[in-house]
Amino acid sequence: MISTFLFKRVEQSLKIILAFIVLLTILLPQTVLAAENNRIEGVIMKDPGSDLWRNIRQRDFAITGTTQMKAPDANILINVAGEFWRQYRTMDLIPLAGSAIFLALVGVFLFRILRGKIMLAAGRSGKKVLRFTLNQRFAHWSTAILFITLTLTGLVLMFGRNLLIPVFGAEGFGTLAMVAKVMHDYLGPVFAVSLVCLFVLFVNGNQISLKRDLEWLLKGGGLFGKHVSADCYNAGEKGWFWIATLVGGTIVVSGLVLDFPIFGQTRATMEFYLVIHGIAAVVMIVASFGHIYMGTAAIEATFEVMQTGYCDSNWAKEHHDRWYQKKLDEGKEVSAGAMDSETPGTVSSASEQSS
């Protein structure tokens, strides 16, 4: 009885072993053949899953195929150039941008320490000169508000991952970044319109005069020495105007390419314009620090010029004496009620302002 039971168990075991040998004999050649077929241009796929994609990503050229999709780059299996762009943005562009912005802020701080606030040598005269019309001021402040908003949202998108995630956490930063991106995308075209209006309203008087502007620059605008004559705008103001126009125009064009990726732009095109957009934005941000500081806290009675449209006559004499003399020669005087309707450069006495 026991011998019969053992015999059956041995017989079953032999059948299982035999079946395994037969199965192995059938599958082994197929496995070897599959391994040979997986040698694609030097890529050995031990694991047809993760190893395949890992090896493809490590290539320095795009692997293309065929697809029914008609979108740009739709036939590229993996865009390996994107990784190089990501590393450039993370390791080079963002650190350099951060350093430039930091050094610009340090420069403004040191200038404040060394020079202090620049006061009117003769004090206020009590007379006003209309310098900017209502349209000019509206265009200026609209562009300024849009620029500051776009700067803040852009800085969130550029530096937020490193600076804000430790503060708000990943989820908090994700929400903030989403809001910043939407605002940045939608306000960009509005900024383009305001920049065009600003150019049209302020280009008159901002033409370069090589001799006078070079003299102004060589003397540092009179900040550290003798007074330098200037017309409607000095070389520093002209420099900011053309930076805002040309660099701002570069920001607008590159931003529109990124805003509307529906005209056949490839990934390489988008990566290129994103770098151009970032560099131009940093240049304009750095330049704006000087403009904002000089127009607000650096020089007495300067902020009120763009705030009200009027400048003190002593301010005009000290900073734009040629322009002021031209307006005196015209001999135009207006009442306070006509402030925003008159053309720039009309003179109003203190008594007329208070009546």
pLDDT of residue 301: 93
Site of tokens 């075991």: 13
pLDDT above 70 (res 48): no
pLDDT of residue 218: 87
CA atoms of 345 and 200, how far apart (whole Å): 18
pLDDT above 80 (res 19): no
Residue scoring higher pLDDT (84 or 256)? 256
Report residue 152's pLDDT band, with 50, 70 and 90 as the boundaries. Answer: very high
CA atoms of 92 and 87, how far apart (whole Å): 8
**Fold adopted by 81-354:** Fumarate Reductase Cytochrome B subunit (1.20.950)
pLDDT above 70 (res 98): yes
pLDDT above 90 (res 193): yes
pLDDT of residue 337: 42
Task: Check if the beta carbon of residue 322 is closer than 8 Å to that of residue 230.
Answer: yes
pLDDT of residue 199: 97
pLDDT of residue 220: 82
- Residue of 152, 95, 134 lying closest to 288 (CA atoms): 152
Domain boundaries, the chain: 2-57, 81-354
CA atoms of 344 and 130, how far apart (whole Å): 5
pLDDT of residue 339: 45
Report residue 329's pLDDT band, with 50, 70 and 90 as the boundaries. Answer: confident
* 198-234: pLDDT as tens digits: 999 999 999 998 888 898 888 888 776 677 889 999 9
Work out the average pLDDT over 317-327.
90
- DSSP element (H, E) containing 84: helix 81-88
pLDDT above 60 (res 22): no
Name every residue whose Cβ is closer than 8 Å to that of residue 33 and which is 6 or more positions away in sequence: none
Residue scoring higher pLDDT (311 or 50)? 311
CA atoms of 37 and 30, how far apart (whole Å): 10
Other beta carbons within 10 angstroms of residue 248's beta carbon come to 24
Task: Check if the beta carbon of residue 163 is closer than 8 Å to that of residue 213.
Answer: no
Residue 29 CA, chain-centre distance (Å), reads 59
CA atoms of 210 and 105, how far apart (whole Å): 29
CA distances (Å), origin 340, targets 90, 224, 346: 49, 35, 11
CA atoms of 13 and 141, how far apart (whole Å): 91
pLDDT of residue 228: 81
pLDDT of residue 35: 52
Report residue 345's pLDDT band, with 50, 70 and 90 as the boundaries. Answer: low
